[in-house]
Structure 1
């Protein structure tokens, strides 16, 4: 659920209209949160208007932290956008409250080729025969590495690309993290003389933006350790009390005491991404939506590498997919659907791929985006490697906001060293499952 959080916090309205307006001209209001994607969708809107001269797309960009409040206010006041970028963690509540439109009739009427999308992206936006979004892009998680630090530590790109991990001794992952952790005297964490109270660069940092999915914080470790949080989307039981998740969280919570990660309170204040940019940490996990951010802000050589192979013998990542949804209160649903359909088509997704900001949802488009990024000196193939590894959807069910709070609080308490993982996750899981059934 961590997508595109480094976008601007202010709303910027963009009106795109080409050609003469007809007497039946209609405005379709569209809202997204990622400023990096604005240019691509401006182009898509202009191209769309040429095909539909009677429809003008008005784009409003609102940064992630204000986005959902703005949307909720719009639902209540009757001023919500006709179409908006939706998130898997949010849409169940919108659907339950009747705030988004079932697209099934439109999909069937226009014979949309739903098989063109990357496997699983379309289905996860449906429930009980109703479809609430048309996929627009997907993301996976990888590690970004400070390659200056790696070179100084004698860690090669091949070493980083072939890491293994386990919750007992950390595997080659922890060995590398220790080599990359350096104190004020230039001594690494493998050396008995290492001073963990005077660290100048930590080897690894778990981000502080904890949620129930653990997308870029703990889920990839946990699932590679054999955890299955939910048997399938909408299943009425979560497994946040799985002993293998407990082991995973205990491991991550123990990294600061070894001196190879900063304490969680500092990370909450500073932000793991900012720590990486400031050369305070050598490796952080992040999503493919952050490729452009790091490319623009890191003033040193970096590399994206796949996540470590876990005890189960595989790498694992959440495969998250955004979609566009139509507000149920829209007065221009037919025109809104035309825009949603266009954004999910090869015509628009080719434009998005050519910008190289995100990976579009139609099969084959990600390779185009990766090629574009490569032309700018960015090798993002690690994310495609992860997409071809073990992937899993985020937990999906009713009462997501309340459950998210329960799980987030429990995991945060564990990572801050205030609770032991076994008791915290047992209590949180019981509460989450009760909320799931309510």
Structure 2
């Protein structure tokens, strides 16, 4: 009887020990654990290091080892690591890949963790939370975000005697002013119709109440009348000689032409602030309005690997990365707009001469980029097919029909 009781107690103690270690198995004897943090932007290394230092003031027993990988190799490395069970415990994620990684059970849903710890998801723009929500579960805590602004060259406007653009502008006004700013003798185009989606035609499609991918990700909307109308308007600037051609913008990036005073107006993101603020002639305002006011939004989030051996430590770190304290560190650098509501003032102060408030305000009427499982593949189809319409080889309607067919094929396999 005593022998049986001893065996029973031994098993119970073993279970308790295992349960006690399950939060952070592989912890060292002194209770310290090490987690890895994967990201891709070398310009943010100093901010990451400062945040880790602040984190360790509260959690000295959790060591964070950083893994910096250039964006070009980042997701390829993650796929290899996922197959081998060697993912970073915490890592950056973007909207183009979150669906794929969530459905593949590569990353952890954090909705329940947030609820258990009373971690509020209301501290971030709803559109960003929606971007990282898959089948009703949130998988990432927003880190930063990008909306799109309407950039313009004050010098070109002044020389043409035209008031600067403002919130009263609509599509008609944009076309009218583009015609007046275009000066072939000086080699100046009024507007740049880039073949970019986030900082280009997506905004016009949504402003015209068109659709890119249907809600639920079941079908493409490129051949809808509203979408085609938006794409025809956007490419009309090229056809009418008011924008550089696709070939010209391939040879010299539109951003370079804009910075050098060859383009009067264009859409671009806040990631260009460090570059554009070097030219005192440049500024930014709200996008001209279509049927409705809409703008694309994207942002990065921090996610947790599903196979992490340190779930508790990883979650503590992700919470800190999503805190106001961490957001303020990023804001000071001026490189990104922190996602935590109310922490963007420091970012705006990094370029006080620019009207950066428009990027913050735009979050209120923003629409997240499509985030179906095959977003990356769909984006490639967009470039391959739409460039034929941008160059005038086929009509916008033909390109829209071809693109819709290809995208629907991709979506049907998900």
1:304 aligns with one of 275, 278, 284: 284
Decide whether the 8 Å contact of 1:24 with 1:54 is kept in 2: yes
Corresponding residue of 2:4:
none
The alpha carbon displacement at 1:160 in A equals: 4.6
Corresponding residue for residue 277 of structure 1:
259
Mapped partners of 2:257, 2:70: distance in 1? 21
* 2:323 pairs with 1:348: no
Q: Is the 8 A contact 1:315 1:386 kept in 2?
A: no
Contact 1:373 1:379 in 2 (8 A): no
- CA shift, 1:94, in A, is 1.3
Question: Residues of 1 paired with 2:137 and 2:359: CA distance?
Answer: 30
| 2:17 counterpart residue number | none
- Tell me the equivalent position of 2:8: none
Q: After superposition, where does 1:179-190 map in structure 2 within 5 Å?
A: 179-184=180-185, 186=186
Contact 1:135–1:323 (8 Å) recurs in 2: yes
Query: C-alpha distance in 2, partners of 1:32/1:379?
Result: 29
- Structure 1 residues 177, 64: CA separation in 2 closer, same or farther (over 3 Å shift)? farther
Tell me the residue number matched to 2:62.
55
Q: What is the CA RMSD across the aligned residues, in angstroms?
A: 2.4
CA contact (8 A) 2:36 2:66 kept: yes
Alignment partner, residue 73 of structure 1: 80
Q: Which has the higher helix share?
A: 2
What SS does the aligned partner of 1:299 have?
coil
**What is the CA–CA distance in structure 1 between the aligned matches of 2:228 and 2:91, rounded to whole Å?**
37
CA distance 1:96–1:109, change in 2 (3 Å):
same
Closer/same/farther in 2, CA of residues 236 and 268 from structure 1, 3 Å limit: same
Q: How does 1:103-142 map to 2 (within 5 A)?
A: 103-142=110-149
List runs of 5+ in structure 1 lacking aligned partners: 1-20, 166-170, 187-199
TM-score (normalizing by structure 1): 0.81
Query: Is structure 2 residue 356 aligned with structure 1 residue 380?
Result: yes
CA distance in 2, matches of 1:177, 1:57: 51
Report how many residues are paired.
386
SS state at 2:313 partner: helix
Q: CA deviation at 1:344?
A: 0.7
| Residues 238-261 of structure 1: CA deviation (Å, up to 9, x unaligned) | 211111221222233332232221
Cα distance between partner residues in 2 of 1:76 and 1:252: 42
Choose the corresponding residue for 1:435, options 392, 395, 410.
410
Per the TM alignment, residue 52 of structure 1 is displaced from its structure 2 partner at its CA by 1.1
Maintained 8 Å contact 2:127/2:366: no
1:56/1:386 CA distance change after superposition, 3 Å? same
2:331 is the counterpart of 1:331: no
| TM score, norm. by length of structure 2 | 0.85
Asked if structure 2 preserves the Cα contact closer than 8 Å seen for 1:134 and 1:344, the reply is yes
Are the structure 2 counterparts of residues 278 and 432 from structure 1 closer, same or farther at C-alpha, using a change threshold of 3 Å?
A: same
Q: Following the alignment from structure 2 to structure 1, what is the Cα–Cα distance between the partners of residues 93 and 146?
A: 14
Q: Structure 2 regions of 5+ residues with no counterpart?
A: 1-27
Contact 1:144 1:303 in 2 (8 A): yes
Query: Structure 1 residues 32 and 407, CA, compared in 2 at 3 Å: closer, same or farther?
Result: same
* Counterpart for residue 408 of structure 1: 383
Structure 2 counterparts to residues 136-285 of structure 1, below 5 A: 136-157=143-164, 159-165=165-171, 171-184=172-185, 186=186, 200-208=187-195, 210=196, 214-232=197-215, 234-285=216-267
Distance 1:156 1:61 in 2: 45
